[in-house]
């Protein structure tokens, strides 16, 4: 039985707490958060002990795995504490806010005896897995162009509104589009160059639309796009991949099997899938521990994706093409 401690009980920590309930061989044992209201919520939600810091967690509770769900710039320090405590580590994406932090995290985890995995959850979503399989099976021939979209929903609300602080979150490109950058890397490998634009700073802070043009080393041209808006919108994702033999086309809005209409308005529901993708990524972590293998997404792999996202941010800043 893997005993799990979640550090950070905000948006993603709450999703992970739910997902851990669905992972056989694991038990959520304790939650840490520096915010009193979140601590109280964790206790109420799961009837679990809750502590104010990762140090207190390590000191007082017997856990095997630390699940890092704090804001991005805090990932490194929590991971360092977890590794010093000789725990397995699962860390939410993006790996880090800067390349230097990411580099140090890769170094921390290299040669480390316990397992370290990073949460790029899109690799565990059924549609994205099946689309990748189609590409691998050569269903559309040699791929040439990929387009992805992610967003359309309202601006995310985090602890002390940290998503709105670019220095912490990195905005749409680092926090949101890193999902698709990672997926594209998983499909097509290394990126040759990046050119990106964003509306950040051109309107109010809580409205960002970003477009990244990519050229992969294998020649594929990519367009990775997404938004956080302040309009009441519905979150959706799109993928389109064109190859020498055809086209794969996915739009989450047309794959919602249930639509409800009531006094609260119209609501479309994704799924239902029997297992949630967060549970699948955590299950991979548990199995990696049991089988003594690497988790699907290693710190090094996540570092490579971080490198692409930060290159996109540099391109936005300089207006120039960034070669990798």
Partner 1 sequence: MTVKIGFLSLAHMHAHSYARALQNRRDCSLVGVYDPDQKRGEAGAKGMNTTFYSDPLELLAQVDAVIICSENNRHREFTELAAEHGCHILCEKPIATTLEDGQAMIEACQKHNVKLQIAFPVRFATPVMRVKEMLDQGQIGDVLAITGTNHGQMPGGWFVDPVLAGGGAVMDHTVHVVDLIRWFLGKEFVSVYAEVDQMLWDVDIDDCGMLSMEMEGGIIVTQDPSWSRPRTNPTWGDVTLEITGTKGVIQLDAFAQNFMVYDDEKKKVSQRSFAEDMDSGLIDDFITMIKENREPSITGYDGLKALEVALAAYESARLKKPIPIN
User: Which residues here bind partner 1, judged by CB under 8 A?
Assistant: 140, 142, 144-145, 147, 152, 193, 195-199, 202-204, 207, 209, 211, 213, 215, 219-223, 225, 227, 229, 231, 233, 240, 242-247, 319-321
Pick between residue 22 and residue 240 the one whose CB is nearest to partner 1: 240
Least distance (Å) between residue 197 CB and partner 1: 4
Q: What angle do CA 20, 277, 68 make, to 5 degrees?
A: 50
Tokens of 18: 């739910």
Cβ closer to partner 1: 237 or 276?
237
| Min separation Cβ 259 and partner 1, Å | 19
Retrieve residue 274's tokens.
């029997």
CB of 194 to partner 1, least distance (A): 10
Residue nearer to partner 1 on the CB measure, 19 or 220 = 220
d(Cα 50, Cα 6) in Å, to the nearest integer?
9
Residue 145 CB, nearest distance to partner 1 (Å)?
5
Nearest to 249 by CA among 140, 92, 157, 107: 140
Cβ closest to partner 1, residue 104 vs residue 215: 215
DSSP string, 265-319: EEEEE----SS-HHHHHHHHHHHHHHHT---SS-HHHHHHHHHHHHHHHHHHHHS
What's the min distance (Å) between Cβ of 255 and partner 1? Answer: 17
CA distances from 50 to 4, 60, 75, 79, 292 (A): 12, 11, 19, 19, 30
Taking the least distance from each CB to partner 1, the nearer of 104 and 193 is 193
């Amino acid at each position: 039985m893997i005993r799990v401690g979640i550090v950070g009980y905000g948006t993603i920590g709450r999703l992970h707490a739910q997902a851990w309930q669905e992972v056989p061989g694991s038990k959520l044992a304790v939650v840490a958060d520096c915010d009193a209201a979140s601590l109280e919520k964790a206790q109420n939600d799961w009837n679990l002990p809750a502590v104010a810091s990762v140090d207190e967690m390590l000191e007082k509770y017997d856990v095997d795995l630390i699940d890092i769900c704090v804001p991005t710039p805090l990932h490194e320090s929590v991971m360092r504490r977890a590794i010093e405590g000789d725990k397995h580590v699962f860390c939410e994406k993006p790996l880090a806010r800067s390349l230097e932090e990411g580099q140090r995290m890769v170094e921390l985890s290299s040669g480390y005896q316990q397992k370290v995995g990073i949460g790029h959850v899109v690799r565990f979503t059924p549609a994205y897995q099946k689309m990748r399989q189609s590409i691998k099976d050569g269903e559309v021939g040699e791929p040439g162009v990929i387009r992805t979209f992610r967003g359309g929903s309202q601006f995310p609300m985090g602890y002390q509104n940290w998503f709105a602080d670019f220095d912490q979150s990195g905005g749409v490109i680092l926090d949101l589009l890193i999902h698709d950058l990672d997926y594209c890397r998983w499909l097509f490998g290394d990126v040759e160059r990046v050119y990106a634009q964003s509306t950040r700073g051109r309107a109010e802070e809580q409205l960002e639309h970003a477009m990244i043009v990519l050229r992969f080393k294998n020649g594929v041209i990519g367009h990775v796009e997404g938004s956080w808006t302040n309009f009441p919108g519905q979150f959706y994702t799109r993928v389109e991949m064109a190859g020498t033999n055809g086209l794969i086309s996915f739009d989450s809005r047309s794959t919602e099997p249930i639509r409800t209409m009531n006094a609260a308005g119209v609501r479309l529901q994704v799924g239902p899938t029997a297992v949630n993708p967060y549970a699948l990524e955590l299950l991979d972590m548990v199995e990696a521990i049991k089988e003594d293998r690497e988790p699907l997404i290693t710190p090094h792999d996540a570092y490579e994706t971080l490198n692409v996202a930060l290159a996109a941010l540099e391109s936005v800043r300089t207006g120039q093409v960034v070669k990798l």
